[in-house]
A and B are shown apart, each in its own frame.
Chain A
């Protein structure tokens, strides 16, 4: 099992690590039992993700996918962020070993669950795409 150079770069030098104290939305997915937890913090202004930070407990791929996901959504509109898929994260990282694909699923879910939290906090009408959003509990079995 070998990681691509891009994965190693994002693992060694993760982008947007940290917390946002006055975040507008926070999402936490995964569980320590399975070996990875991602926590995503969003700052949203005028439907644009103006800042994003993450904290991750997990393997190299878990850290790299979190980092890449933050890069892919920073500065984007919510509408654009909603189109983020785990496949896009994998492609941006130049691939992941098959046993690590579930990390990219977690990254996508962390972003979406932070958006759900944002809508709940702001009391705004949740977009259709998020109403159907459910965390895939079986991601670890795939």
Chain B
């Protein structure tokens, strides 16, 4: 038996998306750049995928650039905006302390190249403040990049307000919307977004494919030389199977957005209410300004990895934070950013789920988790101290 509650790491590919991938591989296998009928058939499939994606984001098809995933889209957007800014003498970038490493590491690299980066504080509710952003924007600010929803704790940022402020100040606004797209309504016009990253495998699409939305007239650098693909900005034969799967999954997710969210929120609230009953547990992030399907808890006196191993042995797949950082010994930078101590942050558990999960599965977790926590606490010298009131 296996219960999968790690959907923020990746999701199972949906039936419709898998079919679209298969068809593109076996039937419409032509190169979209070829003149012959098979090539042109592939070009039609590619165009369709682009316009379907654009429809969901509420933008034009020509504003959608397909990529190898969210990380590439983040790298491309940030580097491009940085270079554009530098040409005008603007070498300041604003972001937040709890971005995904795809953003933070790109910013680190730019710092070494002479850019100045301001990382906004994240408050204990897991949200950035628009007022803080207003204070941080300068004459030489080239870019603001703030994630739509956090991948570890699930809080949804005030993106529309951030976008409105950036538009007013004339600063390019990029948002890493990898965890949001396909789960909550994302509208680049309503949100005043200039650039947005998304990734197919977070909403039942295939892995290795994503997209970058770039608003018309926002400068975009060439990312890969070598061809006219993606409006000459990203050379290389298009991943037609991948983008077909992306568009199919996204369209399906969008059609059922409300229905899926309602089902997912029911699971979330059931889990949250039960896990709050566990002594010395902590629900991280604002309880309402959040995605339907990501919750993050800390349990004092235990360590996250041993908790995950025990859950896995019980048939439950979960995570202690971002899958990208497992193997690292440091606690999550996200939990430290919202003000948790190292001690508490070590005992974190992220459960991420969606409409394909069931209330029965949630109940199994609710039944299993407290016993495991109790067992780990019974052998923990830290818990012993907490019990004695020494901590």
Contact = CB atoms under 8 A, between A and B. Distances in A.
Contacts of A11: 306, 309
Contacts of B342: 32-35
A28 B381 contact: yes
B381 A39 contact: yes
Nearest to B308: A60
Contacts of B381: 28, 37-39, 55-57
B313 interface: yes
Contacts of A126: none
A59 B327 contact: no
A105 interface: no
Contacts of B306: 11, 58-60, 62-63
A102 B303 CA distance: 16
B383 A1 contact: no
B379 A55 contact: yes
Contacts of B329: 34-35, 99, 102, 140
B61 interface: no
A11 B307 CA distance: 11
Nearest to B302: A57
Contacts of A82: none
Interface in B287-318: 301-306, 309, 313
Interface in A1-60: 1, 8, 11-12, 14, 17-18, 28, 32-39, 54-60
B34 interface: no
Contacts of A102: 329
Given A12-B313, A35-B331, A56 B346 contact: no
Interface string B340-370: 0111001000000000000000000000000
B382 interface: yes
Contact of B303 (A8, A39, A62, A99): A62
B273 interface: no
Interface in B105-163: none
A1 B343 CA distance: 23
Given A33-B342, A59-B305, A60-B306, A1 B380 contact: no
A57 B303 contact: yes
Size bracket of the B interface: 20 to 34
A1 to B, nearest CB: 5
Contacts of B302: 57
A56 B327 contact: no
Given A1-B327, A17-B379, A37-B382, A58 B303 contact: yes
B309 A57 contact: no
Given A58-B306, A60-B309, A32 B346 contact: yes
A60 B304 CA distance: 9
Nearest to A66: B379
B287 to A, nearest CB: 27
B379 A14 contact: yes
Contacts of B237: none
B326 interface: yes
A58 B301 CA distance: 9
Q: Which 9 A-B pairs have the closest CB atoms?
A: A59-B305, A32-B343, A57-B380, A57-B382, A33-B342, A39-B381, A35-B346, A55-B381, A60-B309
Interface of B: 301-306, 309, 313, 326-329, 331, 341-343, 346, 379-384
23 contacts: A11-B306, A11-B309, A12-B313, A14-B379, A28-B381, A32-B342, A32-B343, A32-B346, A34-B342, A35-B331, A36-B303, A54-B379, A55-B384, A56-B380, A57-B301, A57-B381, A57-B383, A58-B303, A59-B304, A59-B305, A59-B306, A60-B306, A63-B379
Given A14-B379, A59-B305, A60-B309, 13 more contacts: A1-B326, A1-B327, A12-B313, A18-B379, A34-B329, A38-B381, A39-B381, A55-B381, A56-B379, A57-B303, A60-B306, A62-B303, A99-B328
